[in-house]
Amino acid sequence: MPRILPFALVVLLISSVVSRGAEEDILLTKDGHSTCVIYDDAHAPASVQEAAKELQRVLKIATGAPLPIVHAPGEAMIALGDTPETRQAGIESARMADEHFEIKTQGKQVFIAGRDTKDGEVTQEGGVTDGTYNGVMEFLERYVGARWLMPGGWGEDVPARPTLTLPVIAIQDGPDFASRSMTISFGGVSGPWRRHLRVAPNRQPIIRTEFNHAWDKYDMPARLKGHPEYMALVHGERTKIEDWHPEMQGMKFCTTNEGLIELYANALMEEMAKKPAQQMWSIAPSDGGGWCECEKCTALDEPCDWPGNRMYGKTSKTRRVVTFYNAVARRVKARYPDKVLGGYLYAAYTYPSVDATPIESNLFLMLASRPYYGFTLYQDELAKEAPRLIDAWDGKMKGRMGWVDYSTYVGLKTPVGAPYPPGKAILKLLFPALHQRGWQAMYWSSSFNVQGWGSLHNYLTAKLLWHADADVDALAAEWLERAYGPGGVQMGQVYDLLEQKLAAYKQANPKEYQYRAIPEQVKAIHLPLFPQMEVLYREALAKAQTDAQRRRLEMFGDNLVLLNWNMRQAGWLEKPETSAFYRSDADFKTFVEQHSASPSISTTNAKPEIYLKPQLGTGPSAPAAVDK
Ligand SMILES: [Zn+2]
């Protein structure tokens, strides 16, 4: 029977009102045969038709039975979306909240229906809702046992069940966050994965947020010419717009200059006039430093003793940024009262100002707390601070807030091969805290290592975006077992060792803010753990029972080949050739060429040369001596 599903705890169960004695379990398929059909309306929205095809495909894999998709009700059927029969069964999808759904059995019939936007229609917030599709994914996970563990073909895990019996079902469910974005992409393989896990941006989320560094947008570089006084004063000189180019960060304004505010607001409103359908527009500062040092601008800076702000020298730039946001927002509100302006609270403007000036009601701010990037929340001081920070902004913004997260992120611009853990303690801290305050817009950065060590992190994050209070440990344990088979136990130990070592490193190095595998981190975390990781990994691999389990493990192991080579190049290994992950330089070159298009080790379609450069620096031990 179905495995124990952690999210069952948080799903509203109303089945108790149905007498189990009165209704029998439904025999959906027997020995690979079925009389059941999949029924949807011939004019159902594309998302419902997509759900019908996916239901058919996965049921065929699980049971062997090809259930036909029909547009007329059958005696035994799985009915999808809003139909007269569904309404007769008591499911009123039109009354449901966006993205919500209901699954219900009645006699030999299963009804799965949710709130769906018709093709071309949008919700009040300008997004789309695919409730029925969500319901079908829930059905496949919960009652058929399907899992999408990682992107790509190896990620799908559908257990064989030639005879599939369904219990009496009556559930309603929907997401905890209306806007669930995850940034991953690798040659398109992540698109279907995100769709299965019900995260954007395959489809527009209900709340469409627009937030990005936007000071160089709206044709500003051209408009600023002839106004040197509008640019930031740095080291006594105005930065020159002529020197600025798109790849460069940090084009900053003198935001206390009224003319600049007027120019920026007008530039923005000209764009708004050109795109009347766009609801939200970003006005967030450029990334990086280069803030204006003029007297009026610096007068707005405030002392800030929040622990995390030590990154920025105990001074906060929040008041100057929010003052600018407010000034632009007032101008826009006068002409476009329905438009929403998006902004960041980030870097030196992460922490709230002590100034009690209200923040304009047409602003929606995304908190991207840079001090928490890259696992720093393993530090007790910051872990205690985070809920206070969320509360402080929530009090000022009254719900008009979203979260941008890099707290469990490792940038992979330097492909070292060092595996990182999912950061379970951090996920457990942040998701419930954000959900409790009712924040709806979530943007979670995911690991680019989509089929190697990063896939567990991505899976947990996607699940938590749906239900913030889901049991992280139970989800992780299930994922390890489903992905790696019996060796999931050993791999769980590998991840736990990495969590412990990384946590200890972050606690011991509170002023190290890097969120990529820098040599100092790898030397402190991965170098001492490598022999133990190797033993556990090889034990796990020896226990693999299926090709899929073996392949998924190897995609983790590919990283250790890369890491062994890099540590050898850095001169950190006394006897590198004793490791099973050792490759001679010639073999390593072949390995890299074979894996250059693999999501198991790379960032995006990286060229082999990137991997063939040592990423941890060079050291005294000459690799040639051990090469054959
Ligand atoms: Zn200034």
Residue 19: count of CB within 10 angstroms of its CB:
8
| pLDDT on residue 201 | 55
292 CA → ligand 1 middle, Å? 5
123 CA → ligand 1 middle, Å? 41
- Would you say 469 and 432 are in contact if contact means Cβ atoms under 8 Å apart? yes
349 CA → ligand 1 middle, Å? 16
Q: Check: pTM over 0.85? Answer yes or no.
A: yes
Burial profile 107-120: b = 16 or more Cβ within 10 angstroms, e = fewer: ebbbbbbbbbbeee
Under the banding of pLDDT at 50, 70 and 90, the label for residue 174 is very high
Write the DSSP assignment of 243-291 as a string of letters. Answer: G--TT-----B-TT-HHHHHHHHHHHHHHHHH-TT--EEE-BPPSS---
Give the span between the Cα atoms of 558 and 554, in whole angstroms. Answer: 6
Cα 347 to Cα 155, 285, 308, 318, 624: the distances in Å are: 36, 11, 10, 9, 45
State both tokens at 557. Answer: 């192991």
Give the span between the Cα atoms of 265 and 121, in whole angstroms. Answer: 31
**HSE value, Cβ hemisphere, 13 Å, CA-based, for 594:** 10
The closest alpha carbon to 561, from 528, 534, 596, 597, belongs to 534
Contacts 24+ apart (CB under 8 A), 616-622: 616/416, 616/519, 616/522, 616/523, 616/566, 616/567, 616/569, 616/570, 616/572, 617/519, 617/570, 618/569, 618/570, 618/571, 619/569, 619/570, 619/571, 619/572, 620/571, 621/568, 621/571, 621/573, 621/574
296 CA → ligand 1 middle, Å? 6
229 CA → ligand 1 middle, Å? 9
Indicate the helix (H) or strand (E) that contains 531: helix 519-543
Tell whether the model's pLDDT for residue 208 goes beyond 80: no
Higher pLDDT, 538 or 446: 538
232 CA → ligand 1 middle, Å? 6
| pLDDT on residue 4 | 41
Whole-number average pLDDT of the chain: 90
Tell me if the bond preceding 228 is cis, omega within 30° of 0: no
271 CA → ligand 1 middle, Å? 25
Give the span between the Cα atoms of 478 and 474, in whole angstroms. Answer: 6
- Would you say 387 and 434 are in contact if contact means Cβ atoms under 8 Å apart? no
Tell me whether strands 363-368 and 340-346 are parallel, antiparallel or unpaired. parallel
294 CA → ligand 1 middle, Å? 4
Over the stretch 300-357, which tens digit does the pLDDT of each residue have?
A: 999 999 999 999 998 999 999 999 999 999 999 999 999 999 999 999 999 999 988 9
- Find the helix packing angle between 488-508 and 519-543, rounded to 10°: 170
Cα 71 to Cα 83, 88, 482: the distances in Å are: 10, 17, 36
Residue 106 pairs in a beta bridge with 109
Give the span between the Cα atoms of 155 and 152, in whole angstroms. Answer: 5
The closest alpha carbon to 189, from 446, 411, 558, 487, belongs to 446
The closest alpha carbon to 616, from 561, 560, 571, 557, belongs to 571
217 CA → ligand 1 middle, Å? 20
364 CA → ligand 1 middle, Å? 25
Higher pLDDT, 128 or 582: 582
Indicate the helix (H) or strand (E) that contains 499: helix 488-508
Higher pLDDT, 602 or 548: 548
| pLDDT on residue 8 | 39
237 CA → ligand 1 middle, Å? 11
Write the DSSP assignment of 290-356 as a string of letters. Answer: ----SHHHHTT-EE---GGGGGGTTEE-HHHHHHHHHHHHHHHHHH-TT-EEEEEEEGGG-SPPS--
- Read off the amino acid at residue 68: P
- Would you say 279 and 253 are in contact if contact means Cβ atoms under 8 Å apart? no
320 CA → ligand 1 middle, Å? 10
Over the stretch 464-498, which tens digit does the pLDDT of each residue have?
A: 999 999 999 999 999 999 999 999 999 999 999 99
Residues in the chain: 628
289 CA → ligand 1 middle, Å? 14
| pLDDT on residue 622 | 34
Tell whether the model's pLDDT for residue 625 goes beyond 50: no
Under the banding of pLDDT at 50, 70 and 90, the label for residue 17 is very low
Give the span between the Cα atoms of 185 and 179, in whole angstroms. Answer: 18
299 CA → ligand 1 middle, Å? 9
Give the span between the Cα atoms of 72 and 85, in whole angstroms. Answer: 10
- Would you say 166 and 105 are in contact if contact means Cβ atoms under 8 Å apart? yes
| pLDDT on residue 523 | 96
484 CA → ligand 1 middle, Å? 57
234 CA → ligand 1 middle, Å? 9
Tell me whether strands 179-183 and 237-238 are parallel, antiparallel or unpaired. unpaired
343 CA → ligand 1 middle, Å? 19
298 CA → ligand 1 middle, Å? 7
Higher pLDDT, 449 or 625: 449
Give the span between the Cα atoms of 502 and 525, in whole angstroms. Answer: 6
253 CA → ligand 1 middle, Å? 7
Residue 3: count of CB within 10 angstroms of its CB:
13
223 CA → ligand 1 middle, Å? 18
- Domain 26-173's class? alpha beta
242 CA → ligand 1 middle, Å? 18
First-to-last alpha carbon distance for the chain, in angstroms, is 54
Longest dimension (CA), the chain: 83
Over the stretch 360-406, which tens digit does the pLDDT of each residue have?
A: 999 999 999 999 999 999 999 999 999 999 999 999 998 899 999 99
258 CA → ligand 1 middle, Å? 10
Give the span between the Cα atoms of 556 and 451, in whole angstroms. Answer: 8
514 CA → ligand 1 middle, Å? 30
340 CA → ligand 1 middle, Å? 26
State both tokens at 84. Answer: 């007269």
318 CA → ligand 1 middle, Å? 14
- Would you say 551 and 485 are in contact if contact means Cβ atoms under 8 Å apart? no
- Residues with Cβ within 8 Å of 604's Cβ and at least 6 positions away in sequence, in order, are 185, 186, 187, 448
- Would you say 464 and 470 are in contact if contact means Cβ atoms under 8 Å apart? yes
User: For residue 616, what is the DSSP state?
Assistant: S
Q: Give the mean pLDDT of 114-127.
A: 86
- Would you say 572 and 616 are in contact if contact means Cβ atoms under 8 Å apart? yes
The pLDDT > 70 percentage for the chain reads 91
Over the stretch 131-167, which tens digit does the pLDDT of each residue have?
A: 999 999 999 999 999 999 998 889 999 999 999 999 9
Q: Give the mean pLDDT of 183-192.
A: 69
- Would you say 591 and 583 are in contact if contact means Cβ atoms under 8 Å apart? yes
Give SS3 for 149: coil
